A and B are shown apart, each in its own frame.
Chain A
Amino acid sequence: MLTQFIYAYISTVGFSLLFNIPKSAILKSAMVGALGWLIYSEVHQFSQSAILSTFLGACVVSVLSEIFARKFKEAVTVFVIPGILPLVPGSGMYNTMLALIQQNFSTAALIGSETIFIAGSIAVAILLVSSFTRLIFLKKI
């Protein structure tokens, strides 16, 4: 669990430098990404549902980003974008493509629909969290 956290932390530091995040925010946004991944992997271990665990992971990422954005007076995207990236279903995309090439159409449909739902769950998580924070704090950051 600790190794997962460290790997996710370093990975998110890499993503945040790729997106030129302000220097002061790099370590914070990596913290957001690593905690999001931790929730994802823990929930995945005990529920075996990639969709649920991605949803909860993305929820954690967006809640933390909204809090950090208000606390450190930055744009929310500075924290959300690198934090969310480890959850984006790259492996689902790859496996769908592979199944399509091998003409395993039923597998492709299965994995493909799951991938779409995972992407959708990320979207819904961001949507829910930022809608609620807008209800709570009327001020946009």
Chain B
Amino acid sequence: MKADRRRVLALAVCAGEIMLKNGAETYRVEDTIVRICKAYGISNVESFVTPTGIFVTVDYENGSDEPITFIKRIKTRTIDLNKVSKVNTFSRSLMDTRYSIENGLRILKDIESYPTYPKYIRVFCAGLASSFFGALLGAGILDFLSSFTISMIVFLAVNYLERHQANFFIQNALGSAIASLLALLFVYLGFGINLDKIIISSIMILLPGVAITNAVRDSISGDLISGTARGVEALITAISIASGVGIIMNLWIHSLGGRF
């Protein structure tokens, strides 16, 4: 019975880990862990999740057995809402069909290794998202094309930095610095007209929309620690983007006088 509890807990923590790593809100992770444990008949379970770690404890009903605690440290976080959605559906399906724990673990492994959209599509979409955002701001065809190109390059650069485990401050600062440098170059060469529109639409893909949304959603569910942590993440991301743009524009204005 004891081994059984351990394995249920391992399954629940594994599900929680996948969700938290891929950008779920913390209350959703806590709910999922509790839901999975309950589906296997363990009702005395407490989970506490922050953006950087998962803590779960299982106690026995009559207190005759020893409590078990799992701690899982989460070091890297990306955004892959497909996996969040799949684990969410999986944990809900446990209510109706009870998989064996081996099967459950296998399903979770499948979800974890589920591929993202191919890279060329994501690069193209980065371009699409920013250039059409530029069109919303009223950019002409030249600005549209240059922000399309620049944001694809920015996406590739940030992706490269992410694979080499640069922290998110460096990723965003370098990304926005590259965006503004290329925008200056494009305007200088005559491929673009409005510098501001090109830069604004190219940094769109870096903006902390996920962090803002999750910060609010965590705070209203009462997870004040996670809410604050994600709020700070959003703030630091914004500062890093601003500093990347700022450094390049500062150099340009103070060395060349803001002209070409």
Q: Is B209 within 8 A of A77, CB to CB? A: no
* Structural contact, B216 and A127, CB atoms closer than 8 A: yes
Question: Is A126 located at the chain interface by the 8 A CB criterion?
Answer: yes
Chain B, Cβ-Cβ closest to A93:
B242
Q: Is the CB of A22 within 8 A of B200?
A: no
Known A-B contacts A10-B128, A81-B213, A126-B213; the reply to A94 vs B245 at CB < 8 A is yes
Inside 8 A of B116's CB, which chain A residues have their CB?
20
B219 to chain A, nearest CB (A): 8
Q: Inside 8 A of A127's CB, which chain B residues have their CB?
A: 216, 219-220
Q: Are A78 and B212 interface neighbours, CB within 8 A?
A: no
Closest residue of chain A to B199 (Cβ to Cβ) is A94
B84, A18: Cβ atoms under 8 Å?
no
CB distance from A23 to the nearest CB of B (A): 8
Interface residues of B in 214-241 (CB under 8 A from A): 214-217, 219-220, 238, 241
Cβ–Cβ < 8 Å partners of A55 in chain B: none
Does A60 sit at the interface, judged by CB under 8 A? no
Whether A17 pairs with B81 at a CB distance below 8 angstroms is: no
Cβ–Cβ < 8 Å partners of A81 in chain B: 79, 81, 209-210, 213
Query: Which residues of the partner chain B approach A122 to less than 8 Å between Cβ atoms?
Result: 212
Residues of B with C-beta under 8 A to A123: 212, 215-216
Q: Mark B83-104, 1 if CB is under 8 A from A, else 0.
A: 1111011000000000000000
Given the complex of chains A and B, what is the CA–CA distance between A90 and B205 in angstroms?
Answer: 10
Q: Hey, what's the 0/1 contact readout for A17-29 against B, CB within 8 Å counting as 1?
A: 1111110010000
Q: Measuring CB to CB, which residues of chain B are less than 8 angstroms from any residue of chain A?
A: 23-25, 27-28, 31, 79-86, 88-89, 116-117, 121-122, 125-130, 132-133, 135-137, 155, 196, 199-201, 203-205, 207-210, 212-217, 219-220, 238, 241-242, 245-246, 249-250, 253
Interface residue ranges, A against B (CB under 8 Å): 4, 7-8, 10-15, 17-22, 25, 37, 41, 73-78, 80-82, 84-86, 88, 90-91, 93-98, 100-102, 119, 122-123, 126-127, 130-131, 140
Return the 5 tightest CB-CB contacts between A and B, nearest first.
Answer: A14-B129, A14-B128, A11-B132, A17-B125, A14-B125
